[in-house]
Amino acid sequence: MTSAIRTIGLTKSYDDSVVVDGLDLDIEAGEVFGLLGPNGAGKTTTILMLLGLTEPSSGSLEVLGLDPRRSPLEVKRNVGYLPDAVGFYDDLTGRQNLRFTARLNQLEDADDAIEAALEQVGLAASADRLAGEYSRGMKQRLGLADALIKDPTILILDEPTTAIDPEGVAEILELIRSLAVGKGVTVLLSSHLLNQVQAVCDRVAIFVAGSVVALGSPHDLAVEQVGQARVEFRFASEASEGRRVLEASGAVTEVTHGHFPGSWVATLDPGSLPATVAHLVSAGVEVAGVRRVDEDLDAIYRRYFESREVTV
C-alpha cells in the first residue's frame, strides 16, 4: 500500500451549505502534503472527517486502508493530530499533560517517548512548568509533542506554527521534514502561510470554498498556471550581452534581474531551455550556470484565485 490517505468524492454539507465539495485526494506514504487555503475553505472539516470526528455527507475515505467511520479508534492509534486550537490542563505541567495523553492512548513505559518528544520540540527545559504558564507558542509546541509521543504513522497538523517565533518556525519545519525523510511519517499540513508550505511540502492542494482548484508541487503549479518556466542564467562575463541575447531569443518572453550579480532570470517555455542555452553559447556568451527558479507560492496562489474571480 502506497497511499496513506485517500478520498473519493468526499463531501460535507450543513443544511444548504457545502463545506467540502467532492474532494479527491491521494496522499502517498512518507509524503509531506499541504492543504493551502484561507480560513473557512474547508481544511479543518476535511481533517475532522479523516479522523472520524465528523461524518461525511457522501463520498468515501481511507486512512492507512481503514475507514475512519468504521474503525475510528484504530485510525486514532496510528495518527498524531495537532488541532488549530490546542487545549491542555493548566494545573498540570507540560510533562504531566503528556503522561495523561500517554495513558489515554494506553502507552506503557512512555517516559522515554515523552522525553524524546519534548526534546524534539524544544520544551525539555520547560517540561516541569505548569501548562497554564506557557505562552501560546509554547502550548503549540506542547501540542506537537502530544501528537508525537505515540510514534504516529501519519501526522496531521492544523496550522502548526501559530504564535511561534521565526526561529521556532524554522525548527518545527525542519522537524516535519526530518520525520518524513528519516522515519517515513506521512504529514498532512493545513495552513494559510504560503511560505511555510512551500518550504516543507512535496505537494500542495489549493483549497477554495470547499474544493481543490489545483494540486501538485509548487513548481508544477507554477508551470500549469503560467504556462512557462523561470530560469536564472549566470554569466561569467559580459552579463549585459547575455541579457541582450536572451531578450533577442524568440523563446524568451521576459528578462528580469537575477539573485546574483551578473545573472538574469528569463521566462520561457520549459521545452525551449536547451535551445536557449545553445543560442547563448553560439553567440559567444559564456554561461557560468543555469537553474530553475520556482515562482513564489504566494504569486501562484493569487493567480489561481484571480483566475476564478475569488477575492482573498
d(CA 18, CA 296): 30
C-alpha R_g of the chain: 23
Q: In this structure, are strands 203-208 and 186-191 parallel, antiparallel, or unpaired?
A: unpaired
Residues 239 and 160 in one domain: no
C-alpha distances in Å from residue 244, one per residue of 233, 237, 257, 273, 287: 12, 13, 13, 16, 14
Q: Which of 157, 189, 216 is a domain's end point?
A: 216
pLDDT in tens, 120-147: 999 999 999 999 999 988 999 999 999 9
Residues 157 and 243 in one domain: no
Question: Mean pLDDT in the chain?
Answer: 88
d(CA 223, CA 234): 22
* Domain contains 54: yes
Residues 178 and 129 in one domain: yes
d(CA 204, CA 230): 20
Q: How many structural domains are present in the chain?
A: 2
All three cell numbers of 154, joined, read: 501519519
C-alpha distances in Å from residue 218, one per residue of 77, 127, 143: 32, 37, 28
Residues 41 and 133 in one domain: yes
Q: In this structure, are strands 154-158 and 79-82 parallel, antiparallel, or unpaired?
A: parallel
Residues 32 and 165 in one domain: yes
Q: Which domain holds residue 272?
A: 222-297
pLDDT in tens, 232-257: 999 987 778 999 999 998 889 889 88
* Domain contains 78: yes
pLDDT at residue number 312: 39
Q: Report the predicted TM-score, pTM, of the whole model to 2 decimal places.
A: 0.75
pLDDT at residue number 116: 94
Candidates 212, 20, 84, 291; CA nearest to 203 is 212
* Domain contains 23: yes
pLDDT in tens, 74-92: 999 999 999 988 889 999 9
Contact predicate 76/66, CB 8 Å: no
Residues 101 and 64 in one domain: yes
pLDDT at residue number 243: 92
Contact predicate 153/78, CB 8 Å: yes
Single-letter code of the amino acid located at 253: T
Residues 57 and 119 in one domain: yes
* Domain contains 93: yes
Contact predicate 147/88, CB 8 Å: no
All three cell numbers of 92, joined, read: 498540570
Residues 193 and 127 in one domain: yes
CATH number of residue 22's parent domain? 3.40.50.300
CATH number of residue 227's parent domain? 3.30.70.100
Q: Which of 216, 234, 256 is a domain's end point?
A: 216
Say yes or no to pLDDT of 158 above 60. yes
C-alpha distances in Å from residue 261, one per residue of 143, 236, 238, 257: 44, 10, 11, 9
Say yes or no to pLDDT of 301 above 90. no
Task: Name the percent of the chain lying above pLDDT 90.
Answer: 57
Residues 82 and 122 in one domain: yes
Residues 150 and 235 in one domain: no
d(CA 65, CA 215): 22
* Domain contains 245: yes
Residues 230 and 202 in one domain: no
Q: State phi, psi for 32 to the nearest 5 degrees.
A: -100, 110
Residues 164 and 289 in one domain: no
pLDDT at residue number 186: 97
Per DSSP, helices labelled H in 105-233 are: 111-120, 136-148, 166-183, 194-200, 218-226
Q: How many CA atoms lie within 13 A of 294 on its CB side?
A: 15
Q: Which of 189, 216, 243 is a domain's end point?
A: 216
263 C-beta neighbours (distance < 10 Å), count: 19
Higher pLDDT, 164 or 187: 187
d(CA 229, CA 295): 8
Candidates 168, 161, 200, 211; CA nearest to 297 is 200
